[in-house]
């Protein structure tokens, strides 16, 4: 066995094998020291009956090499296949998705010639926890999970990344005007951690105007950190306005493993034609070389790539109808320019790693302090969700009031979050899914799970079908649940 750094490589689906072959060839000619270990993932594996899209041997390779260069894969539509990308990110704890977005104007045409922004996307939580349920014939839910340790990790990563890369500003995007608890926690953690980096400027935008600003004035941003779903959308907007989805690469970083890829998909519409742009995967590979301690090779490739563009050699997605070359010819053109530097673009420069250069995070203060933490969690009530398509809100309310006590009293009924009892409006549209909120009765001092179980039994006996409950808690006396709209 050689001493070269082993990395796991997946050639993927669609255009994946073409762009991977081109990328590996460039790496080899540039003198990158690595040994690829190929695994099969994706469509072939799904269709062979592995519903996760990855085999045990592939996991074994990933856990051993800890570095993964991955081509895009095709997730078969329907059939309940889980996204393999999400599975890999979460299983290997790749909590940070780093997506640099840079303008290469005027060669890659864009209305925004001066952009150099990095999106740091939380990669494991949020709606991508993938916890979904159908609760009634009319209603499905997807649980949005935002955790304090997860938020602390990604926000700290963004600030450390900014510090190590001489970035001046870190911006946070959330929707905490609406999701006050979940996005509110992310924003709060951002404000807390920002205090530790007084030299870095910070700001916060509500996600909708934030993404609009990326589309309109992206040059105003430097590093932007955000929860998973927003990061997914914002980074595609950023890539698209800069001219081609075929160019940007991305790194998925965890405490132990890392995965590098292009941001685009498997492009089945052009697969097998030999015309795909390998640049997105090549940029992923450049980030990988920096990660495994070969920054000078990364620099050589990046500069040869910039020079290739400067010399007017493009694939079809960039040429946009003008003269273009195929995937292989493009790779050959980059190889021919290894050792050259661009004259119009700023040359790329990656410094040799020194001690402490990796963004290695301290354990979150919360996790560190878990044993000593004094948080009093007090049961304050319960939301009982019921299926009902027979009686009105008033009738349901009166029925529940009659069986609530003595420990509990009915506070409110909402439908899709808005109050319908007491004093609901006839204009409010309702579905078959009702949230009935009970609080501790006046004069009662303590509520227990047994009280809630007794309540559920009475609800059952009254012929009302409850479908789930959510306990309502206070944490150190502070309400840990949102009020109903109109409560
Ligand atoms: P896509 O990114 O594959 O393609 C969108 C458009 O961009 C297509 O017109 C395509 O031809 C073009 N394009 C993409 N990459 C290009 C390249 N390198 N060179 C030239 N043109 C390029 O997105 P899609 O069509 O929505 O998805 C296709 C498949 O890819 C789906 O199965 C999806 O699940 C999968 N996907 C995988 C990943 C991944 O593995 N990381 C990411 C996104 C989508």
pLDDT of the residue at 356: 56
Determine if ligand 1 sits within 6 Å of the CB of residue 415.
no
CATH homologous superfamily of 1-91+257-342 equals Isopropylmalate Dehydrogenase (3.40.718.10)
Pairing of strands 465-475, 478-479: antiparallel
pLDDT greater than 70 at residue 1: no
The torsion of the CA quartet 18, 21, 26, 28, rounded to 10 degrees, works out to 180
Residue 367: pLDDT above 80? Answer: no
CA distance 256 to 360: 10
Q: Is the pLDDT of residue 12 over 80?
A: yes
Which atom of ligand 1 approaches the CA of 316 most closely? 20
What's the rounded Cα separation, in Å, for the pair 392 and 415? Answer: 12
Cα distance between residue 445 and residue 380, in whole Å: 10
Q: Of all atoms in ligand 1, which is nearest to the CA of residue 281?
A: 18
DSSP of 15-38: THHHHHHHHHHHHHHHT--EEEEE
Report whether residue 172 contacts ligand 1, using a CB cutoff of 6 Å: no
Atom of ligand 1 nearest to the CA of 261: 41
Minimum-distance ligand 1 atom for the alpha carbon of 83? 34
Q: Which atom of ligand 1 is nearest to the CA of 279?
A: 18
Provide the 8-state DSSP code for 119.
E
Q: Looking at residue 4, what is its pLDDT?
A: 86
CA R_g for the chain: 27
Residue-wise pLDDT tens digits, 159-184: 999 998 999 999 999 999 999 999 99
How large a percentage of the chain has pLDDT more than 90?
Answer: 77
* Strand partners of residue 227: none
pLDDT value of residue 118 = 97
List of E strands, 187-304: 201-206, 223-226, 249-253, 258-262
Pick the CATH number of 95-246+357-370 from 3.60.21.10, 3.90.1300.10, 3.40.718.10, 3.40.50.80: 3.40.718.10
Q: Name the residue at shortest CA distance from atom 6 of ligand 1.
A: 267
Buried b (16+ CB within 10 A) or exposed e, 337-360: bbebbbeebeebebeeeeeeeebe
- Residue predicted with more confidence, 426 or 285: 285
Residue 78 Cβ inside 6 Å of ligand 1? The answer reads: no
To test the ligand 1 pocket, which listed residue (252, 267, 325) has its Cβ within 8 A of the most ligand atoms?
267
Position 82 pLDDT exceeds 90: no
pLDDT in tens, 35-60: 999 999 988 888 888 878 898 899 99
Q: Is the peptide bond before 406 cis (omega within 30 degrees of 0)?
A: yes
List every span in the chain annotated with CATH 3.30.70.1570: 374-479
Nearest CA to ligand 1 atom 5: 267
CA distances from 105 to 109, 215, 238, 387, 446 (A): 5, 16, 14, 57, 66
Task: Report pLDDT for 337.
Answer: 98
> What DSSP line would sit under 229-259, residue for residue?
HHHHHHHHHHHHHTT-TTS-EEEEE-SS-EE
CA distance 401 to 411: 9
244 lines ligand 1 (CB under 6 A): no
**Residue 486, pLDDT above cutoff 90:** no
Q: Is the pLDDT of residue 485 over 80?
A: no
Sign, CA dihedral 29-30-31-36, equals negative
In the chain, CATH 3.40.718.10 sits at 1-91+257-342, 95-246+357-370
Cα(277)–Cα(270) distance, rounded to whole angstroms? 10
Q: What is the pLDDT of residue 378?
A: 93
Task: Give dist(CA 341, CA 338) in Å, integer.
Answer: 8
Q: Residue 238 contacts by C-beta under 8 Å, 6 or more apart in sequence?
A: 99, 101, 115, 117, 119, 214, 218
Torsion angle of alpha carbons 217, 222, 223, 226, nearest 10°?
-20
Average pLDDT, the chain: 92
Q: How far apart are CA 177 and CA 165, in angstroms?
A: 31
Query: Residues 125, 229: contact at Cβ < 8 Å?
Result: no
Cβ neighbourhood burial of 373 (10 Å; 0-12, 13-18, 19+): exposed
- Percent of the chain beyond pLDDT 70? 94
At 52 the pLDDT is 80
Over the stretch 191-217, which tens digit does the pLDDT of each residue have? 999 999 999 999 999 999 999 999 999
Q: Half-sphere exposure (CA, 13 Å, Cβ side) for 84?
A: 28
Please, what's the largest Cα pairwise distance for the chain? 83
- What pLDDT does residue 291 have? 92
Mean pLDDT, residues 442-466 taken together: 94
Output the residue whose Cα is nearest ligand 1's atom 20.
276
Judged against a pLDDT cut of 90, whether residue 154 lies above it is answered with: yes
Least-confidence region, from 195-199, 279-283, 365-369, 378-382? 365-369
Query: What is the phi/psi pair of residue 388, to 5°?
Result: -150, 120
pLDDT of residue 361: 57
Residue 421: predicted pLDDT: 96
Cis-peptide, bond into residue 106, ω within 30° of zero: yes
Question: Helix, strand or coil for residue 420?
Answer: strand
d(CA 230, CA 237) in angstroms, rounded, equals 11
User: How many angstroms is it from 266 CA to the middle of ligand 1?
Assistant: 4
pLDDT at 158 over 80: yes
- Tens of pLDDT along 308-365? 999 999 999 988 888 999 999 999 999 999 999 999 999 999 887 665 555 555 555 5
* Cross-strand partners of 413: 421, 436
CATH of 374-479, one of 1.10.630.10, 3.20.20.140, 3.30.70.1570, 3.40.50.2000: 3.30.70.1570
């Amino acid at each position: 066995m050689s001493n070269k750094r082993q990395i796991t490589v997946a050639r993927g689906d669609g255009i994946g094998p073409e762009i991977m072959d081109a990328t590996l060839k460039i790496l080899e000619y540039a003198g990158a020291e690595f040994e690829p270990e190929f695994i099969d993932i994706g469509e072939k594996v799904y269709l062979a009956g592995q519903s996760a899209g990855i085999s045990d041997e592939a996991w074994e390779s990933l856990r051993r090499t800890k570095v993964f260069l991955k081509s895009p894969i095709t997730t078969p539509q329907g059939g309940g296949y889980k996204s393999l990308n999400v599975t890999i990110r979460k299983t290997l704890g790749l909590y940070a998705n780093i997506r640099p977005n840079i303008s290469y104007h005027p060669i890659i045409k864009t209305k925004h010639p001066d952009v150099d922004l990095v999106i740091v996307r939380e990669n494991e939580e949020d709606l991508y926890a993938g916890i979904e349920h159908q609760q009634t014939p009319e209603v499905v839910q997807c649980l949005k999970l935002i955790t304090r340790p997860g938020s602390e990790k990604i926000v700290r990563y963004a600030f450390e990344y900014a510090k190590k890369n001489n970035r001046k500003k870190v911006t946070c995007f959330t929707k905490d005007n609406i999701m006050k608890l979940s996005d509110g926690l992310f924003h709060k953690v951002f404000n807390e951690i920002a205090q530790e980096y007084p030299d870095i400027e910070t700001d916060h935008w509500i996600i909708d105007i934030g993404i609009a600003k990326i589309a309109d004035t992206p040059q105003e941003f430097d590093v932007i950190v955000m929860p998973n779903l927003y990061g997914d959308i914002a980074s595609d907007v950023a890539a698209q306005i800069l001219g081609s989805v075929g160019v940007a690469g991305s790194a998925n970083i965890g405490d132990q493993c890392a995965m590098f890829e292009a941001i685009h998909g498997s492009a089945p519409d052009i697969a097998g034609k030999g015309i795909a742009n390998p640049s997105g995967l090549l940029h992923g590979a450049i980030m990988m070389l920096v990660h495994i301690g070969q920054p000078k090779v990364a620099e050589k490739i990046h500069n040869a790539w910039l020079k290739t563009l400067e010399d007017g050699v493009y694939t079809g997605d960039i040429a946009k109808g003008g003269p273009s070359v195929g995937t292989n010819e493009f790779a050959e053109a980059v190889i021919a320019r290894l050792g050259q530097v661009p004259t119009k673009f700023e040359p790329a420069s990656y410094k040799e790693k020194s001690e402490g250069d990796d963004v290695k995070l301290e354990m979150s203060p919360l996790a560190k302090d878990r044993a000593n933490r004094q948080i009093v969690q007090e049961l304050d009530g319960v939301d009982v969700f019921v299926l009902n398509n027979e009686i009105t809100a008033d009738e349901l309310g009166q029925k529940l009031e009659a069986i609530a006590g003595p420990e509990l009293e009915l506070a409110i009924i909402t439908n899709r979050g808005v109050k319908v009892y007491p004093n609901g409006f006839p204009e409010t549209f309702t579905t078959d899914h009702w949230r009935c909120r009970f609080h501790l009765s006046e004069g009662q001092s303590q509520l227990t799970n047994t009280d809630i179980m007794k309540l559920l039994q009475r609800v059952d006996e009254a012929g009302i079908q409850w479908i789930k409950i959510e306990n309502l808690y206070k944490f150190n006396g502070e309400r840990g649940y949102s009020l109903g709209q109109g409560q």
